[in-house]
Amino acid sequence: MSGESPERGKHAPAGGEVITHPPVIVARSPEQTARVGEILGAHADRGRLLALWGEMGAGKTCLVQGIARGMGVPEDFFVTSPTFTLINEYPSARGVMLYHFDLYRLGDAEDLLDLGYEEYWYSDGISAVEWPEIASVLLPENRIDIYLSIDDDSTRSIRIEMKGEKMKILHRELVHHTHITEGS
């Protein structure tokens, strides 16, 4: 699997205006990557899917740890990548479940059908999906695409694409609360 993000039009949310916040967020530490996730977790609405695109080591799980913190997942839940279990479930203080998927070990989208993914992705919970390219044909249109790339050992570039009116609100929150360097 390549470390490059998919072509913009290939997996971008279909229909409606696509909002990119900002063109690029440069996170200079795992803590800053988690902070972006925390803002997303605090403001993402029920039933949202977050597709996390990026190569191994790009910070996808770190971002999900921040999402969990932002949703109010209790600290005694250790948020890890479900590489071997495929999905981890976490309750949150908001009364919304966080479903963390890692599709890396799946062969293709058909394998995901056997897991009953619809019960998660189309529920009131928030789904964070690592390696979404494995099941790109099944991804809902109403999602947030998050592209993470490795700049160096500690620096990551993060690009977030979303659509719709509710996404404009989330975009404003990210602009207001992210004190991280914006790249080009």
CATH value at residue 105: 3.40.50.300
* Residues 138-167: tens digit of each pLDDT: 999 888 999 999 999 989 999 988 866 666
pLDDT(109) > 90:
no
Q: Give the C-alpha separation, 60 to 62, whole Å.
A: 5
CA angle 138, 94, 166 (to 5 degrees): 55
In a domain, 117, yes or no: yes
In a domain, 146, yes or no: yes
In a domain, 158, yes or no: yes
In a domain, 66, yes or no: yes
In a domain, 135, yes or no: yes
> How many domains in the chain?
1
* Residues 119-143: tens digit of each pLDDT: 999 999 999 999 999 999 999 988 8
In a domain, 111, yes or no: yes
Q: Domain limits at 144?
A: 14-183
* Residues 24-41: tens digit of each pLDDT: 888 989 999 999 999 999
Q: Give the C-alpha separation, 178 to 21, whole Å.
A: 10
In a domain, 151, yes or no: yes
Q: Which residue has the higher pLDDT, 20 or 107?
A: 107
In a domain, 1, yes or no: no
